[in-house]
Chains A and B, each alone.
Chain A
């Protein structure tokens, strides 16, 4: 096997000129908008469920603006730009929680992350900036984090193994803590519950989102809106069927600076059950 053959094989992996330009433009936009949300804070207006439609680079972007957050739908499939293959809920910096408010044993991970960075091994399966902890009980996971105002949604569902993922920076500052639990599982329906705690050390915009587009699949449409339940606002995003006929639904809620998310995949026959599960989860807050 000649070395040159491997080089020629790797030559097949190239970014098209069009996509190369798009990526560069995206990077330069980011370079130009540092501090965007600081400016936004000055201009913030509580626009509730005002729907804006505008066009960027030929792709359609729909944004549902809600105070201190935006639900944005966009199309990244260049062949079908009108298809809303992506969504994200973007929050502003007010969501970030001072690291000092996190009192639990999770702080032990700061030293662990510092050591992992010092003994950096990029070929391990674990990023040096990440620590995963497993708990058999969701309540134990929440106690471990030690942010008292964390809500445990519908605890009767949260019976399986819980994963706490801690992400930090080189100095060991905690940037993001996520708690993940298998909320419900049957043959035609899986629901996973997430809790996200972004700290004031998190360097990027806070957002929750997903894309359904890849070069091998044109993507599905996401659609959704904000829903008010007993005066509380939830972002509810659904998908049209994927190629395997499974559907997706994501519900996002924020309270006291903490983001909660329920991610559901299901077959259409389970739609009624999904509505019940989602409703139960929403009512737990």
Chain B
């Protein structure tokens, strides 16, 4: 069992990336926070040992991603439209190119989302992402390429892409 101080450190190290991944999947802050909490509860309950911070991060990302997928299939989710990400994007007056891009990121197929966050936000190379999530680097590169095509098409179709 980890102490509260140790848990706090782990949380601070990983909160930002995990929350972004959860939000991209769930598209609302409430569910994203719940999944973030549940991810760390799994860490507490299963108490796995990690070789390194990267190993720790990879484990947390896998758990969070799976929890998101499960939640998206859950009974309550299927009955309610809980998306609130439009609030992040803001009103028409507040919209900018990043809002449009965020909208595009939200609309990406789920399989690309974690890779995109790891590559573009965390700055990992495809080989490093491969190590974190256990997929061949060539697959990661394909996912990134496909995601870029989808994002570009989306942006080109918007007023900011014209």
Contacts and interface: CB of A to CB of B under 8 A. Distances in A.
Given A13-B19, A14-B19, A129-B66, A123 B75 contact: no
Contacts of A130: 70
A1 interface: yes
Interface residues of A, number: 56
B126 to A, nearest CB: 13
Interface string B55-96: 000000010011001100101100110111011110000000
Contact of B31 (A31, A190, A214, A263): A214
A192 B62 contact: no
Contacts of A27: 7, 11, 37, 40-41, 44
Contacts of B1: 31, 34
Contact of A31 (B44, B73, B79): B44
A120 B105 CA distance: 24
B2 A31 contact: yes
Contact of A123 (B2, B98, B135, B151): B135
Contacts of A54: none
A1 B148 contact: yes
Contacts of A213: 30
Contacts of A100: none
B7 to A, nearest CB: 5
B100 to A, nearest CB: 8
A128 B75 contact: no
State the majority secondary structure of interface residues on B.
helix
Given A14-B19, A216-B83, A211 B30 contact: yes
B105 A216 contact: no
B99 A12 contact: yes
A24 B8 contact: yes
Interface string A1-33: 101011111111111000110111011101110
Interface string A251-263: 0000000000001
B84 A13 contact: no
A204 B75 CA distance: 19
A15 B19 contact: yes
Contact of A24 (B11, B83, B97): B11
A216 B111 contact: no
Contact of B16 (A14, A120, A129): A14
B35 to A, nearest CB: 10
A13 B73 CA distance: 23
A9 B41 CA distance: 29
Contacts of A203: 42, 45-46
Given A214-B29, A215-B29, A13 B15 contact: no
B120 A12 contact: no
Contacts of A204: 41, 45
B118 to A, nearest CB: 11
B65 A12 contact: no
B146 to A, nearest CB: 11
Interface string B90-125: 000000011101100100001110111100110000
B20 A120 contact: no
Contacts of A216: 28, 82-84, 86-87
A275 B69 CA distance: 34
Interface in A186-206: 190, 192, 194, 203-204
Contact of B24 (A13, A26, A165, A210): A13
Given A211-B76, A242-B80, 17 more contacts: A1-B151, A5-B98, A6-B116, A9-B101, A10-B120, A13-B20, A13-B24, A27-B40, A28-B4, A28-B8, A30-B44, A122-B114, A123-B143, A127-B70, A194-B75, A203-B46, A212-B80
> 4 smallest A-B Cβ distances: which pairs?
A216-B84, A9-B101, A123-B111, A6-B120
